[in-house]
Structure 1
């Protein structure tokens, strides 16, 4: 599988996107840069994505800093051993505490191979990940984008992406996940780069970052 590993890969993808969809010329011109945002695959990377669910970038960064201070190194074994008091002091909500516990248990039981998943087709990997209680499509898709470097994943449930695409194309209402997923098909096989482009565009139009913390 072709991976998005470098900024050169991003630029190649953007050139292909703009050549295939001329509407993206203006979007590319509006952003100064499109960040790579890659992290090493594994438990810590997935944990950072879970922390970032449904909170602001600033809140996610604060919680992540406390979690890493309480549990270092952050491994499945250490997470479970730290227990609820450390989880609570880190600022994790109860649902996120439980999700990270389910992930930890699945990894230790050999039911979730976070490294091996990086080599699987996206649909197969998403199905495997979402079988773990607490992991939804957004979490699985973001992991595949930023930890596996998958080139053709578009997290259509992301509110910032919905807002950015809606703004870019003059939609009266922000597209929902179903409609955005269908809308983004035109950008295959570079949907992973298109997602990064629109997160960068969101930062321009709203003045704040919204891409997941890694």
Structure 2
């Protein structure tokens, strides 16, 4: 269930770590971004209020993001509804206990089915603490997530942004995000992931808010939600 705030997040120790927990954090980040990069002022004016859209960390949140990889929003939400129809948003234990061919009924691809099964077994066995990733530095958390076969950088970055609340993550491989940056700066072509990741360093330590800003611009221009899931 998506929510506008999550009280269970704890702010990790250390000045370098920032956690986005509520709309006030997003507003703080936006003001910092406008000071860092004045080019963003007209972008913010056009984009309007920035979405928070946090979801509880854990297996269900990451599973939802995995389902959303490389498919349309409508397809992803249809698959997710079928998964949740079993008994609500799944726990790792519940998903691991499903019959072996359940993924076919859900409409999952073989690759995604393998990823979710692998993830569910690891979490259920206590080998992987998804909620605890919010306590770790983004680069460490990303390395842990992408070590799981089937979890790529985009999936890991989106999980850290929307489930753990990390403030300094920028999923530069997101096509809508690339398109929005091109729109914002009147570029004829969208930047590729590597170039966009380098450009986004300017917006640290609030890159997650910068991503929200560009997604909001995309939504304002094209009249459709650009956030990765939900």
TM range (shorter): over 0.9
| Residues 1:130 and 2:157 are matched in the alignment | no
Q: CA deviation at 1:32?
A: 2.5
For the 8 Å contact 2:83–2:89, the answer to whether it is kept is: no
Query: TM-score, length-normalised on structure 2?
Result: 0.89
Q: CA deviation at 1:120?
A: 0.4
Q: CA deviation at 1:207?
A: 1.9
What is aligned with 2:226? 210
Structure 1 regions of 5+ residues with no counterpart?
none
Greater helix share, 1 or 2? Answer: 1
Structure 2 regions of 5+ residues with no counterpart?
1-16
SS in 2 for 1:170: coil
SS in 1 for 2:108: coil
Structure 1 runs (4+) deviating above 3 angstroms are: none
Instruction: Tell which deviates more after alignment, 143-152 or 25-34.
Output: 25-34
| Residues 1:10 and 2:26 are matched in the alignment | yes
Mapped to 2, the partners of 1:71 and 1:80 lie a distance apart of 13
What is aligned with 1:178? 194
| Residues 1:79 and 2:95 are matched in the alignment | yes
Query: TM-score, length-normalised on structure 1?
Result: 0.96
For the 8 Å contact 1:112–1:129, the answer to whether it is kept is: no
Mapped to 1, the partners of 2:122 and 2:98 lie a distance apart of 17
Root-mean-square deviation (Å): 1.3
Instruction: Tell which deviates more after alignment, 190-199 or 51-60.
Output: 51-60
Mapped to 1, the partners of 2:87 and 2:154 lie a distance apart of 25
